[in-house]
Structure formats: structure tokens, C-alpha cells
Amino acid sequence: MYRSSNIVARIFDRQICTPAPGTSVHHARRFYENLVPSYTVYEVECPDHSFRKFTDDGQYLISFSRNHQELIVYRPRWLSFSCKDEDCDKHDLPSRAKRFDSFFTQLYCVPLASCNELICKDFFLYMESNQFGLFATSTAQIHDAPAVGGAVHGVPSIEKITFHLLRLEDGEILDKKVFSNDFVNLAHNMGVFLYDDLLAIVSLRYQTIHILQIRDSGNLVDVRAIGEFCREDDELFLNSNAQGMALSDKNKQLQLPGNHIENHLHQGQPNLGNSFLSGIKQRLLSFIFQGLWNEERDDTLRIQRLRKKFYFHFQDYVDLIIWKVQFLDRQHLLIKFGSVDGGVSRNADHHPAFVAVYNMDTTEIVSFYQNSPDELYLLFEQFCDHFHATSRNSMYMNFISSHSNNIHALEQLRSIKDKASSSAQFVKKMLASLPFSCQSQSPSPYFDQSLFRFDDKLISATDRHRQSTDHPIKFILRRHPYSLKFKIKPGPEAGSMDGRAKKISSFLFHPILPLALSVQQTLFLQPSVVNIHFRR
């Protein structure tokens, strides 16, 4: 702990004092209490782009053109300008220093989308070890598409979804992965999860989890598909078994006397149709059945319990679909199941949902939480960081505040819990965020709740648009002297002239530098108001 809040004194303390083992990074992050984005350039002259985010290592700023056809990548750089007077801090910045290109250098502009496709502006994943970026383009949704070829009824269809893997250093497109007549939830990375070099893509329409590997060469390689089949040879086994059954039936028909009629439509053509449930659904039903079976020792009580808890709800279990998936590690997936309506709804909080842990190596369901949300919530409260599965190379992501690693976040969570009118509704609301969306939080130290206090209703580390306010958002020190360190105000400096227009804001914080962008936009496609907040 530093004895002084003065930055010079802290530098001297760092030279002569050694932090406790395992706390060196936390000790160094205390310097951000002195290095804050305390100056704002309002309404910066900048290109009319849709700014997405900084990469987690701070090397790139990702943006898209307004027509959602092109990717534009910038390199952040620090502002520099000359001043002839002795005390430059008292003077306003020169006009040229207030331009966007004084803070960012455009590296390249790459066309990604074809004529009938658009870039999904809410989707972007970054592979820090190779500096690869994953982007997505898609055609328009077809909401009343017929459910053919094993598709789930009620899930919309997209004619073409293309995932583009780029090397961000030079913008070269390394590989593509195309899904045709499918549906993947691309909003806020919900349908895709990246862990190390493994990529999980959830096909809602065909209820398949596609596992891909991103090679160092920049190739997207199919590893396995979990859904209709769980093991790699399941399809081969079922087809060969069906062929054997068809051959056996044919021989029986030939042996029957007087049977001269042959059905040429089905000879030699095994038609599995919908005679089997999908592999992942059978694993789930087996796990539920075995759990109920083992709860009772008496056979009579077992049968009664299975009738009440399993067979009575059997069709409800069969109708469940996969909503969302995340990696817990390289072997385990956290899978959320629910109804079809909840899977395609923008707000699925009101729909019942269940969570399962699936082992990809053994193809077994390890655990399933349905009528025990309190048990899952206890794990969520105590081990929240384990649900935020981050790649081993993402050092910055290891210091995001959560209620399992930060006492202030835990106190805030318990305060919300105490104020909740219903404990069951509170638990349901908290667990609705599971599985977490990939790379959905900013690693900026200014969101470290052990350093600063702020109104998380107005701003937080979570990557979401928020209702804009004309009042500045305050960042206050957590420690003595509990002073106001800096403010972030989106929109024009004098406030909005039209108070009736609904405005939303997004905040892009650099993960390392005292630098942030606030972007305020209205719902009428007017140019965004971009402010740059930095340490002068």
C-alpha cells in the first residue's frame, strides 16, 4: 500500500518497497489513481463510422463504415503538439489537436460484405496471441422460413452467414467459414465463444454446436459438431446399423410365401428421419433419469418419482433447445437450454431456462441445474471468475472486477439482493447472464472497483449501449481522500438542444492508456457525437 497519494512519492516508494507476493500487478495499478483521463475534447471532427471497441491489448481500434460494408482499423497514438509559452497547461489545445486523426492513425480499410450482406456491427472477437480478428457478415433474416432438413420450427433463417478471420496487422483475410440457411445469434457475440484457439459457434436453427480450431497459420479447421451426434463415429454407426436392419427386413420379406410386391422407394435407403432424439438431447435425458433413479432406493418410490418428475415432464425436456454456449475450459461447455420462444427473443429473462455442463471428451452431461437455482447461484456468487473463461494469453482480462474477487462488487451485489422484493426473482435475474458472452467486458483499470467508484447504471465494464444522460458520470476514489478524480460526459458540452430525442451512448475505454471515447447517437441515423477523454 502506498503511503502517499502523490505520484512522485509513489514512484519513490516503488523503488524502495517490494509488494507482497502475487500482488505486484495490483500494486502497479494503483498508479491509475493518479493517471486519469481528466481532459475532454467535445464533438471531435472524425469520420462518420460505427466505432466498435479497442482490442484487449490496446493495439487497434475497430470500426465499421456506416453502410456496414467496410472494416476500418485504427492505431491509437498519443496526442503531441508544440507550445511556445512556459505553462502550456493553461492554454487551450490548438484546433488541429482536436481532430480525430491527432489521436488515431488509420491503418487500412477492408471491404468485408458483399452486395447483399452487411457487417454485424455488434460482433467482434480478438485472438490476442496471433492478433487475429474474427468478424461476421450476413444477409437479412427470414422470420417465417419453413423448418426443413431437421431445422427447429419457429427459428428464423439467414440465407448466408460468413465468418471472416483477419490478421489485424495488415488486414489480410486469412480464412472464411460460411453457414447457409442457418441462424447464429451474432448480437454482442452471444452465439459465438472464443477460448484460446478454440471457437464454439451455436446453430440455433439446426441445434448444433460447431467446434473449430484457429490455427497459427490462420486457418479455421472443423474439430467436431455436437448436436445430432456427439461422437465422431455416431453417424457412421447409426447408418451402418440402419443398413443392416433394412437388409434383414428385406430377407424376411423374401422368405415370406406369396410376397411378390417390393417397395422400391425404401430398399437400401436407411431413413432415420426423426426416429431418434439428437445425441445431446439423449445425453441430457439420460442424466436426468439417472439422477432421479439414484435418489430413491425403494423400487416403488423410484417408479412414483420417475412418473412425477421425469415422464410427466418428458415432452418438456424433449422440446428444449440450446440457447447459448460458453467454454469453461478446453474440455467442458456450459450450455443453456430453454424454449424456442426464449431462444429467438431479445429478452429471454421471462422464459424458463436450464443450465448444463457438458464434457466434450466423454460426451457426458456432468451436471444439470433445473429446480435448484439457489445451488447454482451460490457457485455463481463465490466462483464468478470461473464462469469468465478467458484465454491464457489474455493477461489484461484477469483483472476485471467481479463479486468473487472484489469486496466492493460483492457488497454491491448483496445490497441489491437485500433490496430485492423476491429472492427467487433476484436469483433468476442474476443467473440470466449465464453463460457469459465472450469478450463482453472492458479490462480498463478505470472499471476496477477497488480503485474507483461510479454509477454502474450509467457506465460499467460491460459492453452495452446505455441511455444517455446530460449529466457527467463521476469517477470517485475508493480510498482516502475519496475525491472526484475525473468525469465522463457524452454528447455536446452544452448538452442536447432537443430534449425529446432519445439518445444512447457507448463508451470505449483503452485497456492501458488514460484514453476513452464516448459516442452519443440518436435513433434517427444522425451523425454521432464523439468525445475524446484523455490525460493532458
State pLDDT tens for residues 277-304: 899 999 999 999 999 999 988 989 999 9
Please give, one letter per residue, the 3-state secondary structure of 326-348: EECCCCEEEEEEECHHHHHCCCC
Cα(311)–Cα(317) distance, integer angstroms: 10
Q: Using a pLDDT cut of 70, give the percent of the chain over it.
A: 89
Q: How far is CA 465 from CA 53, 230, 413, 505, in A?
A: 12, 38, 22, 6
Q: Residue 454: is its pLDDT beyond 90?
A: yes
Cα(484)–Cα(481) distance, integer angstroms: 9
| 266 band by pLDDT with thresholds 50, 70 and 90 | very low
Mean pLDDT in the chain? 87
Q: Residue 436: is its pLDDT beyond 70?
A: yes
CB contact at 8 A, 457 and 473: no
CB contact at 8 A, 364 and 285: no
Cα(313)–Cα(270) distance, integer angstroms: 31
| 464 band by pLDDT with thresholds 50, 70 and 90 | confident
More confident residue, 345 or 169: 169
Tally of CB atoms within 10 A around 512: 17
Cell of 136: 461476421
Q: Residue 235: is its pLDDT beyond 90?
A: no
Q: What is the pLDDT of residue 129?
A: 87
Tell me the three state secondary structure of residue 500: coil
Q: Residue 533 belongs to what H/E stretch?
A: strand 529-534
Average pLDDT over residues 47-67: 94
Q: What is the pLDDT of residue 29?
A: 87
pLDDT for 110-140, tens place per residue? 999 988 999 999 999 999 888 999 999 999 9
pLDDT for 401-414, tens place per residue? 888 889 999 999 99
Cα(359)–Cα(141) distance, integer angstroms: 33
Q: What is the pLDDT of residue 44?
A: 92
Q: Residue 269: is its pLDDT beyond 60?
A: no
More confident residue, 496 or 458: 458
Cell of 191: 452465439
Average pLDDT over residues 348-368: 88
Site of grid cell 454491491 = 412
Q: How far is CA 172 from CA 114, 142, 165, 220, 265, in A?
A: 17, 31, 9, 15, 50
Q: What is the pLDDT of residue 144?
A: 86
Q: What is the pLDDT of residue 264?
A: 42
Q: Using a pLDDT cut of 90, give the percent of the chain over it.
A: 56
Lowest mean pLDDT across 76-90, 177-191, 239-253: 239-253
